[in-house]
Amino acid sequence: MRSNSVTRIVTRNIAANWVGFAVNLAVIFFLTPIIIENLGGEAYGLWLLLQSLVGYYGLVDLGLRAGIVQTITRRIADDDSEAVRRHIAAAMPVLTALGGILLVVATVLAIVVASSIDVSPELRRQIVPVVLLNAVAFCTQMLFAPYQSVLTGLQRFDIENLFVVVSRIVSALVIVLVLSLGGGLVGLAMVTACMALIDGTLRWWRARHMYPALRGLRWCWSVAELKELWKFGIWNAATYVSRQLIFFTDAIVITYLIGAAAVVPFGIAGSIIDQCNRLVTISVRVLFPAMAHLRSSKDMGKRRQLYFTMSRLVIGVSVAATICGSALLAPFIGLWLRDTDVLAEIQSQAPLLFLLLGGASVFVSVQRCGTQLLLAEGAVRSVAILYAGEAVCNLGLSLALGKLYGVVGVAIGTLVPAALFAVLGHLPRHAHVLQLSVPAVLWRVLARPAVFACVLAGVSYACYRLFTPVGWTGLILAFLLQGSMALALLAWVLLEPAQREILKSIPRRMFDRVPRPRCRSID
């Protein structure tokens, strides 16, 4: 792969992920009030509860889907189409069996939920069909996962997100129609299941079209493929559980040590950080297939360049979100929650919590690009062990410091393990794969972001002192000012001169592609 080709593919895929993310947010923003208005408060609350159960269905696949993506991507990068066929042929019967188990579990779960929660009789009758339809939708996505993995392996995130955009818009329109006809919760669940089938079928069709080796595929049992499937699946499942412990146990610890009321400022600061991190997460996803292809081509120079550039940019985005967010969080909360009784408490605690949790997110960003590098190398076990160690330290330190310092102690208990494992655990593993010394990797990954953080902190403080936001208009203007300064500094500090020239050339190349009207000569 040529260097400009890698840049073009990665940029295209990141842009496609951002578009898919933006469309999904827009659909949620416009569709949620319509659903609430048609269903009512009680029915909508029940829908949210039943949807939350879907997240736990992911435990049933034991990390197999993530393992399938990783194996298929590496084999496509190695140009081994026969190995891709063998893996998918062996994976399909396993996924089908897991789907059957999931439907049985969902049936039992539906009966338990229907008999244990306090809702109106009419809503109670809808619980079982809604849970089963949601389970069918999840099973459908699971069965088509190998074909989606082919699109990932081919680095066609643009096609994946095209299906996401189309299916989200179509499903939103159908949901509005079904609700207007009185479909209720069951109608909503039926739309979800049908769209999962349509979306999966489109991915299956497109994958077969782009990767002809999938045509005529027959399911079969292969001991070697099943061993690889379970090996990667188990370590991916361990990684998934560790991440859940890292990101979702703080609220439980705070409730246990202090009380539910203390969760509010922590939860608000954490949720804003999570939203900022989503853009980073969806951007980093595209690196795995790119790293796998570069590994296959044995081009260590381009792997290093991609790793260092993306690591600095990802860290820079997290640093910018943390610094600018810390400066503007207090006035934002003052406007957002001005009519609530807990405003004073939240406004006094949330900025410090935001800064601590933002610091943790910066060190998580240090890990992100390297995690994709390790996964492309097949080092799933190393990734799982690192995350498991961080999860145990996070939980233990949060409990210990939470007893001493309250909510702030829990935040520190999240920050310290993230920093230690990023610098002492992840970066040495990255250095080993890149065949570089640890100090060299530390310097090239962290030096520029450290300078960027210091300069941006000074600029952000000066902007806030010169222009203290008043009202929503002032807050938006302050956000635009600080965001513009952060982007300018990010390009100036984190990118090398050649990379800045490429960035400057993008608008010109886009303009050159716009067709211009031809003028006829007048004789």
Place of tokens 């809702």: 119
Q: What is the pLDDT of residue 315?
A: 94
Instruction: Give the whole-angstrom CA distance, residue 402 versus residue 486.
Output: 34
**H/E segment holding residue 121:** helix 121-143
pTM (predicted TM-score): 0.82
Region 421-425: mean pLDDT is 94
Query: For 297-355, what is the HEC assignment?
Result: CCCHHHHHHHHHHHHHHHHHHHHHHHHHHHHHHHHHHHHHCCCCCCHHHHHHHHHHHHH
Length of the chain: 523
Place of tokens 């069951």: 186
List the chain domain ranges: 1-213, 222-505
CA distances for 21 relative to 154, 176, 506, angstroms: 21, 21, 22
Higher pLDDT among residues 516 and 212, named by residue? 212
What are the pLDDT digits (tens) for 428-441?
A: 999 999 999 999 99
CB 434 within 8 A of CB 442: no
What are the pLDDT digits (tens) for 456-506?
A: 999 888 887 787 778 888 888 888 888 888 888 888 888 877 766 666 665
What are the pLDDT digits (tens) for 361-402?
A: 999 999 999 999 999 998 999 999 999 999 999 999 999 999
DSSP codes of every residue in 178-231: HHHTT-HHHHHHHHHHHHHHHHHHHHHHHHHHH-GGGTT------HHHHHHHHH
For residue 310, pLDDT beyond 50? yes
Mean pLDDT check: name the lowest of 315-329, 347-361, 501-515: 501-515
Q: Where residue 338 falls among pLDDT bands split at 50, 70, 90?
A: confident
For residues 362, 363, 364, 368, the Cα torsion angle rounded to the nearest 10 degrees is 90
CA atoms within 13 A on the CB side of 182: 0
